[in-house]
Amino acid sequence: MARLFGTDGVRGVANADLTAELALGLSVAAAHVLARIAEAAPSGSSAGAGARPKAVVGRDPRASGEFLEAAVVAGLASAGVDVLRVGVLPTPAVAHLTAVLGADLGVMLSASHNPMPDNGIKFIARGGHKLSDELEDAIEEVYARHAHGEPWTRPTGAGVGRITDHAEGFDTYVAHLLGVLPNRLDGLKVVIDGAHGAAARVSPTAFATAGAEIVTIGDDPTGLNINDGYGSTHLDKLRAAVLEHGADLGVAHDGDADRCLAVDADGNEVDGDQILAVLALAMREAGTLREDTVVATVMSNLGFKLALEREGLTLIQAAVGDRYVLEELKRGGFALGGEQSGHVIALDHATTGDGTLTGLLLAARVAATGRTLAELAGVMERLPQVLVNVPDVDRSRVATCAELQHAVREAEAELGATGRVLLRPSGTEPLVRVMVEAADIDQARAVAGRLADVVKSTLG
C-alpha cells in the first residue's frame, strides 16, 4: 500500500481519494496508537490518569469537512475516545486546544491552501505537536492491518467515547493570541484576508481587540469558496484593498490559517522570509531569540541568508515542511523558524505555524517601532527567484532520473556561485516544484523554464 501521509497529513480530493471510510479507519488507527502512548505516559495525559482518552477535533469551512468530521468523530468515539468538537477553527487553534485541554490527540480537517474540492486529515499528538514520521508510520501500520482483515478491538456499553461540542475553544484561542502580544496595535489600519477559511472570524476578532482598525476581505466562507481568489496564494485583492483604504499593512491567511503573508502600505508583498527577518530582529532586541538563531528551509531566498549573516544571526536550513522546521527548533532549543510560504513558528507561543499570531506579531513590530512595514522588511533584499510547478508527472523519480539530474548539474554550473537550483516533489499536491535563484531575473526564468521542460519530458 502506498504511503498515505504526505508532508502535512493525509490529503486528496474529498469523497474520491479521501473518503468517509478512510477518515473513519485512520481515526480508529490513530486512537489506538496515540491513546496507547498516552496510557504509558506517567502524567499529563487524560488516559494516564485512568480516564478515557480525549481528542479535540476541528475543521476549516469546506463543505466536505462536514461529512469527514462526522466520520472522524465516529471513528474516535467507537475506539473509546471522548471527543471535544470545536468546529471551524484554524489548525494552530486546534493544536493549542489539544495542549491546554490535556487531550491525548487532536484532529484537524483541512487541505490548507489547496482548492475547495480537496481536504485533508492532520493528526496532532499530545501537547499540540505534529506527528513524527515514526508515529505516522505506526498509524498506517495499524490501519493496513485492519484493511487486511485484522479486527479492531472495540469497546461496548459505557466504554464507547462521548461527543461534546466545545464552543469555548474560540475564546480560549483568541485570549491566548492577545496574551502573547508585546504591545497593542492602536493607530494601525490593517486589511485582513481570511481566504474564506478558518481564520475568517478569528483573525479580525483578535486584531480588533488588540486595538487595530480593521478592514476585512475573504471573510464570508460558504463552504464552497475557500481559497477561491483570496488568501495567501492570491494577494491581488489584498493589495487593492490596502491601497484603496490607505492601510498601514495587509495580512493574508490560507485556508486553515497556519500561514501568513503580508502586503505593505504601497502594495508590495512581504513574504515569509522577510517576516522571519523582521521578527528575528525584534526577538533579538527583546532577548528572546535563543542562540541568535533562526530555522528556515532549503526554499528560503538566498537574500534571507545574506541578511541574517549581515546582522550577525545564524541560519539553520531544514527540509521543506513546517514539521521539519519544528523538529530543528526543538532539537536545538531555538525559538523562531518558518518557511518562505508564510509558515512561521514562534515556539515559545505555538507548536505549529500560526498565521494569525504571525500577523499580530508583525503588526505589533510596526506599531512599536513607528516604522513602516516596507522599512522593516527592507532588512533583506530578495534575490530573483522563480518557482515553476510541473503537474501530472511521476514525483517518485525526481532523485533517480539520470537525464534530469544531468540537466540540474548543467544549470548549476551555468549559475555558478550567484544562484542555485532546487527540484522538489510536492508533499501535498501531484506536482514537482522547480525553483531557480539567480542574480538576474531573466536568467532565472530561462533556466527554470528549461528545467521544467526536462521534468515534463522525462517524468511525464
The 10s digit of each residue's pLDDT in 17-32 is 999 999 999 999 999 9
Give the model's pLDDT for residue 383: 87
Interval 100-116 mean pLDDT: 95
Q: How far apart are CA 30 and CA 138, in angstroms?
A: 9
Task: Give the orientation angle of helix 64-78 with respect to helix 20-40, to 10 degrees.
Answer: 40
Q: Is residue 112 annotated as part of the catalytic site, yes or no? A: yes
pLDDT tens per residue, range 117-147: 999 999 999 999 888 888 999 999 999 998 8
pLDDT band, very low/low/confident/very high, at 41 (cuts 50, 70, 90):
low
pLDDT at 50 over 80: no
Interval 156-160 mean pLDDT: 95
Provide, rounded to the nearest whole percent, the portion of the chain with pLDDT above 70.
96
Give the model's pLDDT for residue 321: 81
Residue 84: helix, strand or coil by DSSP?
Answer: strand
Q: How far apart are CA 180 and CA 222, in angstroms?
A: 31
Give the model's pLDDT for residue 439: 83
Strand residue runs (E) in 355-440: 385-391, 420-425, 431-437
Give the model's pLDDT for residue 119: 97
Interval 384-393 mean pLDDT: 91
Give the model's pLDDT for residue 46: 54
Residue 285 neighbours by CB under 8 Å, 6+ apart:
none
For 369, the grid coordinates are 517601532
- Name the pairing type of β-strands 10-13 and 118-125: antiparallel
DSSP state of 9: B
Flag the least confident range among 173-182, 416-425, 431-440.
416-425
Q: Are 272 and 258 in contact (CB under 8 A)?
A: no
Mean pLDDT of the chain: 93
Interval 109-124 mean pLDDT: 96
Query: Exposed (0-12), middle (13-18) or buried (19+): which is 151, by Cβ within 10 Å?
Result: exposed
The catalytically annotated residue of 110, 112, 203, 341 is 112
pLDDT at 222 over 80: yes
Q: Are 241 and 180 in contact (CB under 8 A)?
A: no
Q: How far apart are the first and last CA of the chain?
A: 23
Query: pTM for this one?
Result: 0.88
What are the backbone angles phi and psi of residue 99, rounded to the nearest 5°?
-75, -55
pLDDT at 9 over 90: no
Residue set of the binding site = 112, 254, 256, 258
Flag the least confident range among 27-31, 103-107, 422-426.
422-426
Query: Exposed (0-12), middle (13-18) or buried (19+): which is 158, by Cβ within 10 Å?
Result: exposed
Starting at the earlier edge strand, list the strands of the sheet with 189-193: 213-217, 189-193, 249-252, 261-264, 269-270
pLDDT at 236 over 60: yes
Residue set of the binding site for Mg(2+) = 112, 254, 256, 258
Flag the least confident range among 45-49, 51-55, 318-322.
45-49
Any bridge partners for residue 191, and if so which? 215, 250
pLDDT at 115 over 80: yes
Closest residue by Cα to residue 119 from 12, 274, 221 = 12
Helical residues (DSSP H) of 41-109, grouped into ranges: 64-78, 91-100
pLDDT band, very low/low/confident/very high, at 271 (cuts 50, 70, 90):
very high
pLDDT tens per residue, range 333-363: 999 999 999 999 999 999 999 999 999 999 9
pLDDT at 68 over 80: yes
Q: What angle do CA 51, 53, 55 make, to 5 degrees?
A: 140
Interval 227-247 mean pLDDT: 97
Interval 394-415 mean pLDDT: 90
Q: How far apart are CA 41 and CA 458, in angstroms?
A: 49
pLDDT tens per residue, range 169-212: 999 999 999 999 999 999 999 999 999 999 999 999 999 999 99
The CA-atom distances, in angstroms, between 434 and each of 82, 389, 422 are 44, 6, 6
The structural domains of the chain, ordered by start, are 10-167 (3.40.120.10), 172-377 (3.40.120.10), 385-459 (3.30.310.50)
